[in-house]
Amino acid sequence: MTALHIPSFTTLQIELKEHIGWLRLNRPEKANSINQAMWDELPQALAWLQRQTTLRVLVLTGNGRHFTAGIDLAILRRERDAIAANACGSRGREGFLDFIESAQHAFNAFENLRVPVIAAIQGVCIGGGVDLIAACDLRICSVDARFCVKEVDVGIVPDVGTIQRLRHVIGYSALTELSYTGETFDGAKAQRLGLVSQVCPSEEALKQTAAELAATIAAKPPVAVRGIKRNLLFSRDHSVADGLAYAAAWNAGMTMGRDLDESMAALSEKRTPEYRD
């Protein structure tokens, strides 16, 4: 069997063991703030993970004390200076538009990954970090986690997914209050809002919980799990009637396969099912 070649990055680490992948933000000395290299490397890493047929679940976390302090402010200074230096303001702002759209693409890659993504959050998760976890399917945190929709304090509008995605997670009223005030809130409030599903007593417990949750999902029929992700996202953005039609078409086209046969056989034989990649 050929050894798996996992790509190396300057700001990220990937681990893939059996059916579970771990993607770690790796700038711990900078609280995993998202610099240009990380913006560039995230979609590259997700593209590689998308091609791994053994992958059934991805856990996203950060090395060190913090998940991420959000965008590296040096990027905003760079973009501001580039606009000021351009003789034509419109052309300078087109460059900033290009950066914003590339950043959106980087986070969209998590939503577009065919398998579920679990965000395991410790320490701070600020600004762009909230945008990032909004693009994940599940979120859990440690008791020391702190969250903040920080953009209002920087003088910008959240533009990488918080406003567009989190209203479906925590509701419009809660999202507007957090966006307008820039309030920093803890894991207990995040759980009350529905932003996270579990609050773990320590970072070690967070890793263990993430691993157990990932293993539970990875043991389910892979095609069904991938189909559920597609249908959840489709139904979020469409009417009930459209969502029902999409689910019917999906099941009619994708369900009658080996996973269904194995699931029914395992239930009948009272054994643990084993699904192919």
Residue type, 85: A
CATH number at residue 35: 3.90.226.10
Please give the Cα distance from 42 to 258 (Å, whole number). Answer: 33
Q: Which of 20, 71, 118, 133 is an active site residue?
A: 71
Q: What is the mean pLDDT of residues 127-140?
A: 97
The answer as to whether 5 is a domain residue is no
Q: Are residues 184 and 238 in the same domain?
A: no
Domain boundary among 218, 242, 260: 218
Q: Is 71 a catalytic residue?
A: yes
pLDDT band at 144 (very low <50, low <70, confident <90, very high): very high
Q: What is the pLDDT of residue 1?
A: 44
The answer as to whether 275 is a domain residue is no
Q: What is the pLDDT of residue 20?
A: 98
Q: Is 131 a catalytic residue?
A: yes
Q: Are residues 106 and 30 in the same domain?
A: yes
Total domains in the fold of the chain:
2
Q: Which of 70, 123, 128, 161 is an active site residue?
A: 128
8 A C-beta contact, residue 1 and residue 34: no
The answer as to whether 6 is a domain residue is no
Q: Is 64 a catalytic residue?
A: no
Q: Are residues 17 and 61 in the same domain?
A: yes
The answer as to whether 1 is a domain residue is no
Structural domain containing residue 160: 12-218
Q: Which of 64, 75, 111, 159 is an active site residue?
A: 159
Q: Is 171 a catalytic residue?
A: no
Q: Are residues 65 and 175 in the same domain?
A: yes
Q: Is 72 a catalytic residue?
A: no
Average pLDDT, the chain: 93
The answer as to whether 164 is a domain residue is yes
CATH number at residue 254: 1.10.12.10
